[in-house]
Amino acid sequence: MRFDVVSMWPDMLRPFVAEGTLWAAQQRDLIEVHLHRLEDFSLQGRPMVDDRPFGGGAGMVMRPEPFTRAVEAIRSQIGRRPFTVLLSPQGVRLDQTLAKDLAHQRALTLLSGRYEGVDERVAAQCDLELSIGDYVLAGGEVAAAVVLEVVARMVPGVVGRHASASTDSFYSGPLLGHPQYTRPRTFHGMTVPKVLMSGDHEKIRRWRAVEAWRKTLRHRPDLVGLNG
C-alpha cells in the first residue's frame, strides 16, 4: 500500500516513519511512504500556500492550487488517482472500522493543513474529510502520523502476528481490549489473576471476554450505548 502525505513541514514526519513498525513495513515492501512539501506545488514564481480569507476574519487560509497540483503530481507518478483525504477537525472521526476500510485502498494521500483552515474547494475535491478527534491542532502533521500508524497496522503482514492487531480495542466491535499481564507475577502487591496461569484456554477466553466488558463499562460506557 502506498501512502503520500502533503504537508508544509514534511520533515516533522520523517523521524516518525523511519522508526518502529512503519519503518519495518517499508523495509519489507508492505507499504511505501512518500512525504511531499506543499510549497513545492505552489504557483510558479509565487511560493505562497496561504492568503487572506474572503469576507475578512483573523488568520490565513490555505490556497487550493498547491493541494490540487500535489494530488495531480501523485496521480501522474502512480498512474491512477489516489484515495485523497483532507485532515481536518471538521471531518468524519477516525475509528478502527474506518481504518480497516482505508487499508483496502491501494494508494492513500493525506493532505495536511495549517493556519485557519483550507480553502473549501480542496475538501470538495477529496474523497474524505477526516478528523482524529474533537479538538484543534496547530496543523495536520500529528494527525497524519496518527492516520499512517492506524491504517498501516491494518495492512496484512505489517503487524508480525495478525492476532496482535485483531485483539486490539475496537478491532472487532465496540469493546475495549481485555486487561493484559506479563512477568513478574507479583508487582507492588498486585498479583496476576490465577486463571491466566491455569493453562485452561477456554476459561481464559471467557475471563477475557468478561473483563473486556467490565473495562468498557468502567472507562467507555458510551461505546455500548450507556451514559458515562
Catalytic residues: 89, 116, 153, 168
Structure confidence at residue 174 (pLDDT): 79
Q: What is the dihedral of CA 111, 142, 55, 120, to 10 degrees?
A: 30
* pLDDT single digits (tens) 119-141: 999 999 999 999 999 999 999 99
Structure confidence at residue 44 (pLDDT): 67
Distance CA 35, CA 122 (A): 19
pLDDT, mean of residues 144-161: 94
* pLDDT single digits (tens) 164-218: 555 565 555 778 889 999 999 999 999 999 999 999 999 999 999 999 999 999 9
pLDDT tier at 57, thresholds 50, 70, 90: confident
How many residues are recorded in the chain?
228
Q: Alpha carbon 149 to chain centroid distance?
A: 5
Structure confidence at residue 5 (pLDDT): 98
Residues 6+ apart with CB under 8 A from 76: none
CB-side neighbour CA atoms (13 Å) of 100: 10
Classified as helix, coil or strand, 150 is helix
Structure confidence at residue 219 (pLDDT): 92
Domains of the chain: 2-152 (3.40.1280.10), 174-224 (1.10.1270.20)
* 8 A C-beta contact, residue 181 and residue 193: yes
Structure confidence at residue 165 (pLDDT): 59
Whole-structure pTM value: 0.86
